[in-house]
Amino acid sequence: MEESAILLIACPDRVGIIKEIAGFIADNDGNIMHLDQHIDRQANTFLARVEWDISGFRIPKERIKEEFSRIAERFSMNFSLRFSNCTPKVALFVSKQDHCFYDIMHRFKSGELKGKVKLVISNHEDLKPISDFFGVPFFHIPKTKENKESAEERELKLLREHDIDLIILARYMQILSPRFVHEYPNRIINIHHSFLPAFPGAKPYHRAYKKGVKIIGATSHYVTEELDQGPIIEQDIIRVSHRDTLEDFIRKGKDIEKIVLARAVRWHLENKILVYDNKTVVFT
Amino acid sequence: MEESAILLIACPDRVGIIKEIAGFIADNDGNIMHLDQHIDRQANTFLARVEWDISGFRIPKERIKEEFSRIAERFSMNFSLRFSNCTPKVALFVSKQDHCFYDIMHRFKSGELKGKVKLVISNHEDLKPISDFFGVPFFHIPKTKENKESAEERELKLLREHDIDLIILARYMQILSPRFVHEYPNRIINIHHSFLPAFPGAKPYHRAYKKGVKIIGATSHYVTEELDQGPIIEQDIIRVSHRDTLEDFIRKGKDIEKIVLARAVRWHLENKILVYDNKTVVFT
Amino acid sequence: MEESAILLIACPDRVGIIKEIAGFIADNDGNIMHLDQHIDRQANTFLARVEWDISGFRIPKERIKEEFSRIAERFSMNFSLRFSNCTPKVALFVSKQDHCFYDIMHRFKSGELKGKVKLVISNHEDLKPISDFFGVPFFHIPKTKENKESAEERELKLLREHDIDLIILARYMQILSPRFVHEYPNRIINIHHSFLPAFPGAKPYHRAYKKGVKIIGATSHYVTEELDQGPIIEQDIIRVSHRDTLEDFIRKGKDIEKIVLARAVRWHLENKILVYDNKTVVFT
Amino acid sequence: MEESAILLIACPDRVGIIKEIAGFIADNDGNIMHLDQHIDRQANTFLARVEWDISGFRIPKERIKEEFSRIAERFSMNFSLRFSNCTPKVALFVSKQDHCFYDIMHRFKSGELKGKVKLVISNHEDLKPISDFFGVPFFHIPKTKENKESAEERELKLLREHDIDLIILARYMQILSPRFVHEYPNRIINIHHSFLPAFPGAKPYHRAYKKGVKIIGATSHYVTEELDQGPIIEQDIIRVSHRDTLEDFIRKGKDIEKIVLARAVRWHLENKILVYDNKTVVFT
């Protein structure tokens, strides 16, 4: 399979941006495979994702970023460049619940998700056997109110050592400090077990049950300083009825959590998500 | 088609309740067509809906309620009795938006909803032609801060004169006073254009758009004193993306509003909804 | 609101197509509002939809097609050009069922669908009052085995006289002849009341009921010679259970039929549908 | 948690059936927890599921079946009796694909599914490591045209030795012989990767892709002699678009397959499925 380059671009809108991008690619013998462009009319902002075949591209892979920067500057672009053949390095954070953990590990193992899980960090030891089965190093870092700062220091050290690109909170029941979050902007994906903005914070299924909703949901989002307020990446829902107990809410919700988290991770790894005004543009 | 009687029952749970109900019906030659029973284990509450064929029932229709009351008392039941052949009298409240109004009028006219729309009340004159087309009297009762009390008095007078059983707020943009609500407990159905409890109150689509949600919804509920906090009857959702403008949110939402309102009205008219602890049990 | 031009393009893929299109637009001071491009890798086919603001475009509206043809020829493009401000002329075909008819008429009337319903043709007189209410001429053209050819001749004559761009079969229960279909290729949209390819042809709800499916659906598609085999535009579904009678299947299905038909019509009118290999590419 | 008994009943409808059942339960101090009853009007058939608390039930567990048989005979009932605390013995059949296998094993392990997986049978060795991880014996029984009969004999021997109650075909790519199927009527659950009755048989995703459908699905059903024609238990769907390749269809479908299979297994194990006229009544 050929290799491709993927550009995500945001900039003030004006005439001729696509001409310039498409020219840069065609003039160097690249063939565009996907181009998806969108204008936010209110903000007059140009948003696009371009993917092109770089087998035979005249600019060597390692110099594409530099060469494109000249165009980027001219149009005041924010852009990110990635290559389809690269393998992002991933860290998973888990606590005691294993459904998202199993699910995401299996997706990486089967090749459905393109990336390499380098390590698993948990505040409990319960899920170590699963980590072992999948052959991924497991680090047990307990957290208490007292040791939170030093525990995070250990975590950050591990993440840096492994050169982690993406952190997945697979039902990790701890809140990360602002300092931690700032080190990985738009690179920490959390799954929250409610249909946000309904029921942020603790025990969303309990509150949904008490409220008598007819549908429950799950939301994957990038982690920001404010709890459960980061840019939403994906949501999905499932019906419940009066016949469902609180335990049924929790059980049914798990299936949605797994899927909603996996989609977000997939889109992130495929460089399909552009964060913008605390919202996401997902080029699917 | 035969006529049936429908009982909705809530009472403290104990051994033998269904035996008693089924005995009452069978001993009088009634044949149960549907029986759906549920126990709320936390509250130890018995909840049921029973529908039986009353052609050939030995107790005359008009005396069933009285006869059943003896059982009801013994088990401290709250119950309501309705007959499939009765035709509830309905009032619609509308403002300027016509999508729910059209939709619900058509469903009544086609016989999909069993009931008789006796009158339409609106604080604007815009929708009178639609009312005329469907042959339903239209009452224009403008509302201002100053005249709200007297306007409601006029409305209540009309509702009483027409012996209204059910009030449908089909995107009626006015808040009803507690006094009004109290006169029709669990008999006023509203459609709110968000997935409650997210975005109660004004302009939910605007807020959903700003928040960057990936799914929008609509919620039908009984009106209580607290705005958009009444027992939820039904909810449904539709996907949105970054390509959808605020206008698209509003347009897509309309389809959901129509369906979610129609389902709630249908279930109410079929005596399928039991209100309980500010939640609904919907026997579908 | 500004006016835009919309190009739908299909051609053999090769390097530089977008550069050429974007160049054509930018060099004439047009600003691209949406560009959505896709490659069918198996067939090596380039597919795209481009929409750009033509206020201030240097080429007059009436000459854009001609000017663009030079590029089109060079790349062996099939393309269609439309303008956002034009108002397509629409004909509706109906029989006795009114739910899709009401729904689609209301969407045109409210401006949700951009187009002008010029006439309604029916093999029955039943729905004339609705046509009258919406102020659209209604033509009653009965059809029997014997008169089918002459009836279609009358229909075609009316369609030509009114210069119809799009024909909507809103639950029209007659099969159109190949000759008729050929005159309006990819310009006749039908709603079929099943999840195709399951249950093509007559009485799909009856067959779905007998089969015991747990979900029913509806499918909108362009009409081709083969019954219910044309390119699928949109599908949607709704859950059913053993509690649903055949009548419930039919009733529930109606809500889906309305929505699925309306979406197809909308996308067609917005020039978002490209037909290709008996499939559709819908640029949403 | 208390133990309950669950009755599934089908019989000709007549007056007094529930009275009799509820009487049997109440007179022996049993408390009904769920009663869900339905009449098939066309066939005049009574269908019900009753679950009651048997802690304190006056009839010992092992004699309930016999005692109830007297009522059953009088009403010509087909019935099955199960107890909530029993642990059905389950066999899994798999081939090379692991997504459903992982998923279902995890659900059993976590206690979400109540049952004991006694053995895994496969015509390939690929999935043995997963079986090992979950601590379940794995039997590799290769199948060719020539050895099919003897291979099935070995399988049946294993199933009998382990006293298997339920067989799950978790993407087992072999067709079972009628003889095999007859030995486990309504006790073999298959997952088919299409929205039946569309695309029965081989390569449904390929055919769905070629057809250009906008939604794909999965169907769980009991296995009967006719391929993919057994009673449907559950179905679900997911959207696809022109952007999805065949590989995307397959990937997206997996998530639906897992969920649809798991729901069917769950309902079977909870004694919620009544098979009737080659259809299922699922008392959820």
Find, among A255, D220, C239, the residue nearest to B284 by Cα.
C239
Rounded Cα distance between B268 and D192, Å, is: 38
Interface of C with B in 162-221 (CB under 8 A): none
Higher pLDDT, B277 or D108: D108
Residues C105 and C183 in one domain: yes
Chain C residue numbers with beta carbons less than 8 Å from the beta carbon of B99 are 106, 110
A27, A29, A132, A228: the catalytic one is A228
CA proximity to C54, closest of C77, C31, C79: C31
Q: Are residues A111 and A227 in the same domain?
A: yes
Residues B77 and B189 grouped into a single domain: no
Contacts of A231 in chain B (CB under 8 A): 212
| C200, C224 Cβ separation under 8 angstroms | no
* Mean pLDDT value across residues C57-68: 97
Same domain, yes or no, for D140 and D73?
Answer: no
Rounded to whole angstroms, how far apart are CA atoms A243 and A247? 11
Task: Look at residues D38, D62, D83 and tell me which one is the last residue of a structural domain.
Answer: D83
Q: In this predicted complex, what is the ipTM?
A: 0.94
- pLDDT(D1) > 70: no
- Domain interval for residue A16: 4-83
Give yes or no: residues C38 and C152 share one domain. no
Does position A41 have pLDDT exceeding 90, yes or no? no
Q: Which of chain A's residues have a Cβ under 8 Å away from the Cβ of B241? A: 282, 284
Q: What is the pLDDT of residues D170-226, one digit of tens each?
A: 999 899 999 999 999 999 999 999 999 999 999 999 999 999 999 999 999 999 999
Q: Residue C198 pLDDT more than 70? A: yes
Q: What is the CA radius of gyration of chain D?
A: 21
Which among A213, A231, A237 is the nearest to B232, CB-wise? Answer: A213
Q: Which of A106, A254, A284 is the closest to D102 by Cβ?
A: A106
Question: Which of D17, D19, D35 is nearest residue B23 as measured by Cβ atoms?
Answer: D19
pLDDT at residue C143 tops 70 = yes
CB atoms within 10 A of CB A53: 19
| Chain C residues in contact with B269 (beta carbon < 8 A) | none
What pLDDT does residue A52 have?
A: 97
What is the model's pLDDT at position C101? 98
Query: b/e per residue, B105-138, with b = 16+ CB within 10 A?
Result: bbbbbeeebebebbbbbbbeeebeebbebbebeb
Per-residue pLDDT at B116 = 97
Beta strands in chain B (DSSP E): 4-12, 31-40, 45-53, 78-83, 89-94, 116-122, 138-140, 166-169, 188-192, 215-222, 232-239, 273-276, 279-282
Query: What average pLDDT does the segment B233-261 reach?
Result: 97
Residue B76 is encoded by which pair of tokens? 């401290």
Q: Residue D68: phi, psi to the nearest 5?
A: -70, -25
Q: Pick the residue of C37, C40, C54 with the most A CBs within 10 A to test the interface with A by mutation.
A: C37
Q: Answer yes or no: do B46 and B109 share one domain.
A: no
Partner residue opposite B34 with nearest CB, options D14, D16, D38: D38
The enclosing domain of B126 has a CATH number of: 3.40.50.170
Domain C-terminal end among C55, C83, C111: C83
Predicted confidence (pLDDT) at residue C42 exceeds the cutoff of 90: no
C181 and C200 housed in the same domain: yes
CATH code, domain with C25: 3.30.70.260
Test C231 with D217 for CB contact under 8 angstroms: no
**Residue D93, Cα to own-chain centre: how many angstroms?**
13
**Is A280–B41 a contact, with Cβ atoms under 8 angstroms apart?**
no
Which 8-state DSSP code applies to residue D62?
Answer: G
**Taking the CA of residue B147 as centre, how many other CA atoms within 13 Å lie in the half-sphere pointing to its CB?**
8
Same domain, yes or no: A78 and A192: no
Cβ <8 Å between A112 and D251:
yes
pLDDT of B1 reads 62
Torsion of CA D75, D80, D85, D91, to 10 degrees: 180
Residue in D228, D244, D248, D255 annotated catalytic:
D228
| Length of chain C, in residues | 284
pLDDT at C1: 62
Dist. CA C273–CA C270, nearest whole Å? 8
Q: Which of C52, C83, C114 is the last residue before a domain boundary?
A: C83
- Is B228 in the active site? yes
Catalytic residue among C228, C236, C244, C255: C228
Contact B47, B274 (CB under 8 A): yes
Total structural domains within chain B: 2
Q: Are the beta carbons of D38 and C211 separated by less than 8 Å?
A: no
**Confidence band for D68, pLDDT divided at 50, 70 and 90:** very high
- The residue whose two tokens read 């067959």 is C207
Give the contacts of A76 (CB within 8 A, at least 6 positions apart): A11, A12
A97/D117 Cα distance (integer angstroms): 22
Summarised one tens digit per residue, pLDDT across range C240-280 is 999 999 999 999 999 999 999 999 999 999 999 999 889 99
Q: What is the mean pLDDT of residues D215-242?
A: 96
Q: Examine the domain organization and report whether B129 and B246 are in the same domain.
A: yes
pLDDT digits (tens, 9 = 90+) for B53-67: 999 999 999 999 999
Report how far residue A167's alpha carbon sits from residue C116's, in angstroms, rounded to the nearest whole number.
53
- Same domain membership, residue D204 and residue D70: no
- The verdict on B67 and B107 lying in the same domain is no
Q: In chain A, what percentage of residues exceed pLDDT 90? A: 96
Position A189 pLDDT exceeds 80? yes
Mean pLDDT, residues C103-132: 97
The percentage of residues in chain B with a pLDDT greater than 70, rounded to a whole number, is 100
| Same-domain status, D179 and D220 | yes
Do D49 and D284 touch, CB atoms closer than 8 A? no
Chain B: closest CA distance from residue D237 (Å)? 15
Q: How confident is the model at residue A1 (pLDDT cuts 50, 70, 90)?
A: low
User: C48 to chain A: which residues are within 8 Å by CB?
Assistant: 35
Distance of alpha carbon D234 from alpha carbon C215, whole angstroms = 9
Phi-psi region of D171 (alpha: psi -120 to 50; beta: other; left: phi over 0): left
- The neighbours of chain B, by the rule of 3 or more Cβ pairs under 8 Å, are A, C, D
* C12: confidence class by pLDDT, cuts 50, 70, 90: very high
CB atoms A110 and D99 under 8 Å: yes
Q: What are the pLDDT digits (tens) for B72-113? A: 999 999 999 999 999 999 999 999 999 999 999 999 999 999
Interior CA angle at B218 toward B281 and B260, to 5°?
60
**CA distances in angstroms from C155 to C92, C95, C161, C168, listed in the order given:** 11, 14, 10, 13
Per CB-CB distance under 8 Å, the chain B contacts of D281 are none
Over chain A, what is the mean pLDDT?
Answer: 96
Closest-CA distance, B113 to chain C, in angstroms, reads 11
Q: What is the DSSP string of B154-170?
A: HHHHHHHHTT-SEEEES
Subunits touching C (CB < 8 Å, at least 3 pairs)?
A, B, D
pTM of the model: 0.96
Alpha-carbon gap: B39 to the closest alpha carbon of chain D (Å): 6
Residue C204 scores a pLDDT above 90: yes
In D15-74, the residues whose Cβ lies within 8 Å of chain A are none
Of D19, D27, D48, which is closest to B26 when you measure between CB atoms?
D19
